[in-house]
Amino acid sequence: MSIMRSRPVRWVLRAIGGCLVLLLLAAGGLLAINFHDEALLPAAAAIIEGKTVVPVAPEQNLFFTFIGLSSTEGDEPNAEGRRIFALYQQALGRLAADPSQRLNPDRSDFYALAKVREFHYSPELIQLCNQNPEVGAFHCIADAASRRSLWEKILADNRGRLERFQQVSGEPQYLNVLTPVLAAPTIRYFALTTAKRLQVTSWALQLDSGGQDQVIGALAADLGFWRAFVALRNPPLIEKSIAASQVRADLYFMSELLRIRQLTPGQYDALGASLHPSTVAERSVAGALDAELRWSAAILLRQSSENGPRYWFCSAFSAEHRFLNALSCAGFLRNATINRMYRNYHELAQLSEQSCEHFDSGYAMAREHLRRSPTDYLYNPTGTWEVSPGSASLDDYSAKFCNLEGMQRIVALQLAIRRNNLADAQIPAFLERAGADYADPFTGKPMQWDAQDRSLAFRTRPLQEGQLVRWSI
């Protein structure tokens, strides 16, 4: 009986031993495969070294201007932003010299570390013109007469914000000059979006008082400025998206103006000049993805230089927790991770520079190309897992700029329809012959016309979340 018991035990022990040997062999093979990192791709290295960056003088750099917009001090936002940044850098140097301040939360806050007072959000601002209506036609100019006293009070209380914003003009230039770190400070963009609502509200009041020429000139210039910003190569994705929201606000306001006012030929010309067809640079995310890669890669390179070239010990944990470091960073190869990120971004960047008509097929193909297979995890498994393979969020950014192009085309069509006094019965034929520059950006077909509610429409992307955008003309 004891012999019968011992045989199964021996078999189990042998099986366990065999499994352990196989696991050790597999682990050894994985370690051997990941022992050497690959060389950094020349194109990726060029981006990391800043060779694709367009240099910008501090006095023209909107990075500093955006910082200065949130401050209650100073008169000129760019100069104020440069002053805040210099104070921040000085304070950061003092913190770096004190080991007890390594986790100070103010390190990620320009204004707290520089000890500068900033504008804060006020609940009354929600009563201004909404720059991004979710449902129905945009209403701002039509409400000016009935809400004049309320709006004038809010504008008077926030005159400093509006005056700062009105100094943002000229030829836009932008470059983020921060040193890439995980806890880098961010710009308070609510100051920019709030100032925009103040601006369009002030335009509505001006129109109600008869200042139509002045408003049209300011609106056309503002739309041209933010379209030029969207086309810049340096800004990262978030800044490019913020600029796109400024363009949308101008388009909403312009659409309402065209809908409720009859303009002169010169006024139509002034607005039409700012509605020229979108350029490749406006919808491209190539420069923005370069900026994202440069930032991420700089952090990885800094970690390697600070913690040694052996990639098994990156800085996820402090030095006294070497075992946790090993677990978190095993299978992580710095150059291989950066190269994979570059390949993913490069394919998406190329797609963004094609016509929006290729969006549906192009991004479906890209998702297939960038899909991770089980064999991808044999080499650089941790880095492969960490790098997003053309995720939906990046698709959304490209969709956002194509959607913006569609909105711009609708307002250009609206202007042409109003200028030529087309009757509703003439509009379908007009849309058919309008040409590719005024078609649905995703299908190339004419914009949809609904005679019942007198609106033009197209379906936004991505399709799973897309909605039919209707613009009443």
Q: What is the token pair recorded at 366?
A: 């890209």
Cα 370 to Cα 188, 294, 363, 366, distances in angstroms: 34, 20, 10, 6
Alpha helices in 158-285 (DSSP H): 159-165, 190-208, 212-230, 237-260, 265-273, 280-283
Q: Which residue, chain included where needed, has tokens 């939906």?
A: 392
Residue given tokens 């990620």 in the structure block: 108
Cα–Cα nearest to 258, from 454, 458, 460, 468: 454
pLDDT at position 11: 78
Residue 62: its pLDDT value, please?
95
**Residue reference for tokens 């209403």:** 139
State how far the alpha carbon of 202 is from the alpha carbons of 117, 129, 151, 420, 426, in Å.
25, 9, 8, 29, 36
CA angle (336 as vertex; 330, 341 as ends), nearest 5: 110
Q: Nearest-CA neighbor of 203 among 194, 214, 192? A: 214
pLDDT attached to residue 131: 58
For residue 357, the 8-state DSSP code is G
Which residues of the chain register pLDDT less than 70? Answer: 1-7, 26-27, 29-31, 101-104, 131-137, 303-331, 369, 388-395, 463-466
pLDDT tens, 199-243?
A: 999 999 999 888 899 999 999 999 999 999 999 998 988 899 999
DSSP 129-190: --SS-SSS---SGGGHHHHHHHHHHHHHHTHHHHHHHTT--SS-B----S---TT-----TH
Residues pairing with 449 in the sheet: 456
Cβ count near 288 (within 10 Å) = 25
Contacts 24+ apart (CB under 8 A), 57-66: 57/173, 58/82, 60/170, 60/171, 60/173, 61/173, 61/174, 61/175, 61/177, 62/168, 62/172, 62/173, 62/174, 62/229, 63/174, 63/175, 63/176, 63/177, 63/187, 65/168, 66/187, 66/189, 66/191, 66/192
CB neighbour burial string for 199-235, b if at least 16 within 10 angstroms, e if fewer: bbbbbbbbbbeeeeeebbebbbebbbbbbbbbbbbbb
Q: What is the pLDDT of residue 172?
A: 94
CA distances from 330 to 27, 311, 316, 460 (A): 11, 8, 11, 42
Q: What confidence score (pLDDT) does residue 337 get?
A: 85
Extended beta strands in 51-157, E state: none
**Whole-prediction pTM:** 0.87
Q: Is 13 exposed, middle or buried (0-12, 13-18, 19+ CB in 10 A)?
A: exposed
Express each pLDDT in 331-341 by its tens digit. 678 888 888 88
pLDDT of residue 15: 78
